[in-house]
């Protein structure tokens, strides 16, 4: 029963006994009754905020989750944590706080859940860093919990989304569209609540978390404003009570096999490179020994099947219309790509959850068949070489080709690179090198959506590559390589490149090299000096001091 002592493992320590009268007095004031003190307490971690479309509706989902927990016999208590909008802060100094917010979200959920003695919790996320932040907290705290995705946005006019706006900026700079046309795109691309509409980072991570087993079936594939999403939230609140009663925790769900399921699903969906960074971080929180080489190992055999934006044609709403990711996962399971015996938050295994899922309708074009994939192996390619001895992550969908050779054009920071691209100083055959944007050097690994979108908007996506120790939005596409490790700020080889250096990127041999001898690199290193840190006090300074390499997930608690 939800009100027994076993189910109240943590809340009983806060509210039981005469000595806890003061705690009960405080809780009476926020609406607790005498009966509530005998119920399992369920925290509802809400990332509601009206500062971004991704999260503007999450208060309603939090209410539904709380109602689900209450009607299942628990006592729900809602609290908030932060969000940062990547789409708004992109291309500005504020984007340095985006990846940092992932750690703040995880830390703040841990703080409240553990301080208040919740027996379990629901975590609801919308914007990109909410999801891994919530999942990291779930893994770290290890109490019965369920993740709810806030849901995807509906397409704007002419099937536009936020990436349409970034690319329109590049088109405008190239003289391809007018001021009036740019304004029209800006005004019609974002119609209402929900996360960005392609297989960008939010939808990628929602799908990955579902494949991990931490959310209810199909939570990842529902529109933000829908009866399905409200029902998903309500069901999550009730599900936590079941998990409390059965004492099923994230440590019972998360394993190397469940992470392999998540990686496989991300590859099949042609998901964001950020999944590498975030899955490494969640695994670290769960004490699962996942490495970037596991992505390479798994990716050799898993095909890309989803023709989804940004490289493909379709939006998340169109995938939802044909059944979401569940039919894809069932097909992957039947073909031997998934581990069906992994436990999930339903209390059943992944295979049991998928047992009665119907296949996609005949004639749909969003998900390709296994005998006609978009790419026969992973689009997430881990590269190594004398530019990235500890690894880099490329997003090679096959549309760009598999090899790129060009001349380095080096920039200290994103702003300088974007200015050069928009002014026409970047030309065919260039490899744009954006450095000092790594976890420590940025700090915060800003996403390079503005430069990559400007490259695409100017019609250079087939003839210009971009290499950085920063990272990429899920909306980025083209020949792009990020997460270069060690980063430039730490004296990595990226810091030593000069304009005109010959760089070769080969997705088949999985290498990224500059045509320089080690002796030449060593000579350049002697004259290199570390730049001044971006921040000397405050959150960014603390983050830069604590954060690990991107190849380890850019976490702050190793």
* Residue range 140-155, pLDDT digits in tens: 999 999 999 999 999 8
On the question of pLDDT at 1 being above 50, the answer is: no
pLDDT value of residue 3: 46
- Please list the alpha-helical segments (H only) found in 35-190: 58-71, 86-89, 96-116, 130-141, 162-173, 179-188
**330-387: per-residue pLDDT in tens?**
999 999 999 999 999 999 999 999 999 999 999 999 999 999 999 999 999 999 999 9
pLDDT at position 227 over 90:
yes
Binned at pLDDT 50, 70 and 90, residue 400 comes out as: low
Q: Average of pLDDT values for 457-471?
A: 93
Q: Which domains does the chain have, with CATH numbers?
A: 12-153+195-354 (3.40.50.2300), 155-191 (no CATH), 380-552 (3.50.30.80)
Cα-based torsion angle of the residue sequence 187, 192, 194, 199 in order, rounded to the nearest 10 degrees: -40
Of the pLDDT bands very low, low, confident and very high (cuts 50, 70, 90), residue 232 is very high
Please compute the mean of the pLDDT values over residues 298-314 and round it to a whole number: 94
Q: What is the DSSP string of 322-389?
A: TTTTHHHHHHHHHTT-S-TT-B-TTSSBHHHHHTTPPPPPTT--SB--TTS-SBSS-SEEEEBSSS-T
Give the pLDDT confidence score for residue 397 in this predicted structure. Answer: 79
Q: What average pLDDT score do residues 536-553 get?
A: 98
Instruction: Identify each DSSP E strand in 391-517 by its residue range.
Output: 391-395, 403-412, 430-435, 465-468, 479-485, 502-506, 511-514
Residue 166's pLDDT is what? 85
What's the mean pLDDT in 41-61? 97
**Percentage with pLDDT > 70 across the chain:** 98
Q: Is 0.85 surpassed by the pTM of this model?
A: yes
pLDDT above 60 (res 2): no
Of the CA atoms within 13 Å of residue 546, those in its CB half-sphere come to: 13
In this structure, how many other beta carbons lie within 10 angstroms of the beta carbon of residue 117?
A: 17
What's residue 111's pLDDT? 98
Residue-wise pLDDT for 73-110, tens only, equals 999 999 999 999 998 998 899 999 999 999 999 999 99
Give me the mean pLDDT over the 261-283 stretch. Answer: 97
- 5 — pLDDT class (breaks 50, 70, 90): low
| Dist CA 507 CA 248 (whole Å) | 41
Residues carrying an active site annotation: 473
Residue in the structure block whose two tokens are 């900026």: 169
Instruction: Tell me how far apart the alpha carbons of residues 169 and 449 are, in angstroms, rounded to a whole number.
Output: 11
- Asked if residues 206 and 198 have their Cβ atoms less than 8 Å apart, the reply is no
CB-based contact 344:353 (threshold 8 Å): yes
| Residue whose C-alpha is closest to residue 152's, from 226, 261, 84 | 226
The pLDDT of residue 4 is 54
Confidence of residue 476 (pLDDT cuts 50, 70, 90): confident
Given this model, what pLDDT does residue 473 score?
Answer: 83
- Whole-number pLDDT of residue 274: 95
């Amino acid at each position: 029963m939800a009100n027994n002592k076993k189910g109240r493992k943590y809340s009983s320590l806060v509210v039981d006994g005469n000595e806890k009268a003061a705690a009960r007095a405080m809780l009476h004031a926020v609406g607790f009754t005498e009966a509530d003190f005998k119920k399992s307490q369920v925290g509802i971690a809400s990332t509601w905020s009206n500062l971004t479309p991704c999260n503007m509706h999450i208060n309603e989902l939090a209410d539904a989750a709380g109602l689900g927990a209450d009607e299942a016999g628990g006592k729900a208590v809602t609290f908030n944590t932060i969000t940062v909008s990547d789409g708004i802060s992109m291309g500005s100094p504020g984007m340095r706080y985006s990846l940092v917010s992932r750690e703040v979200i995880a830390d703040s959920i841990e703080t409240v859940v553990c301080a208040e003695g919740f027996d379990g919790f629901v975590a609801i996320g919308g914007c990109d860093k909410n999801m891994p932040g919530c999942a990291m907290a779930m893994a770290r705290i290890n109490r019965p919990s369920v993740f709810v995705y806030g849901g995807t946005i509906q397409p704007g006019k002419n099937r536009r989304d936020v990436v349409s706006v970034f690319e329109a900026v590049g088109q405008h700079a190239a003289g391809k569209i007018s001021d009036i046309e740019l304004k029209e795109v800006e005004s019609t691309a974002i119609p209402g609540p929900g996360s960005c509409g392609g297989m960008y980072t939010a939808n990628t991570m929602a799908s990955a978390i579902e494949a991990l087993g931490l959310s209810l079936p199909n939570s990842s594939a529902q529109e933000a404003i829908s009866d399905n999403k409200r029902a998903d939230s309500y069901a999550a609140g009730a599900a936590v009570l079941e998990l409390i009663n059965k004492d099923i925790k994230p440590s019972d769900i998360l394993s190397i096999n469940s992470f392999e399921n998540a990686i496989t699903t991300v590859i099949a969906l042609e998901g964001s490179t950020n999944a590498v960074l975030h899955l490494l971080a969640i695994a670290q929180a769960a004490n699962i020994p996942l490495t970037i080489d596991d992505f390479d190992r798994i990716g050799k055999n898993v095909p890309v099947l989803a023709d989804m934006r940004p490289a493909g044609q379709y939006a998340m709403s169109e995938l939802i219309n044909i059944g979401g990711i569940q039919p894809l996962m069932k097909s992957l399971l039947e073909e031997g790509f998934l581990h069906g015996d992994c436990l999930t938050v339903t209390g059943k295994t992944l295979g049991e959850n998928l047992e009665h899922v119907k296949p996609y309708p005949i004639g749909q074009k969003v998900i390709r068949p296994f005998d006609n994939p978009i790419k026969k192996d992973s689009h997430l390619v881990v590269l190594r070489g004398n530019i990235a001895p500890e690894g880099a992550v490329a997003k090679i969908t096959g549309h760009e080709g598999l090899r790129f050779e060009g001349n380095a054009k080096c920039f200290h920071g994103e702003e300088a690179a974007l200015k050069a691209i928009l002014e026409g100083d970047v030309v065919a055959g260039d490899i744009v090198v954006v450095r000092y944007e790594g976890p420590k050097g940025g700090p915060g690994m800003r996403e390079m959506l503005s430069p990559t979108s400007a490259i695409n908007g100017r019609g250079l996506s087939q003839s210009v590559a971009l290499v950085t120790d920063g990272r990429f939005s899920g909306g980025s596409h083209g020949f792009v390589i990020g997460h270069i490790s060690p980063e430039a700020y730490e004296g990595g080889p990226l810091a030593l490149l000069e304009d005109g250096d010959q760089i070769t990127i080969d997705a088949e041999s999985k290498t990224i090299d500059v045509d320089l001898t080690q002796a030449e690199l060593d000579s350049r290193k002697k004259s290199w000096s570390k730049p001044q840190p971006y921040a000397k006090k405050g959150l960014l300074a603390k983050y830069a001091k604590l954060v690990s390499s991107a190849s380890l997930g850019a976490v702050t608690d190793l």
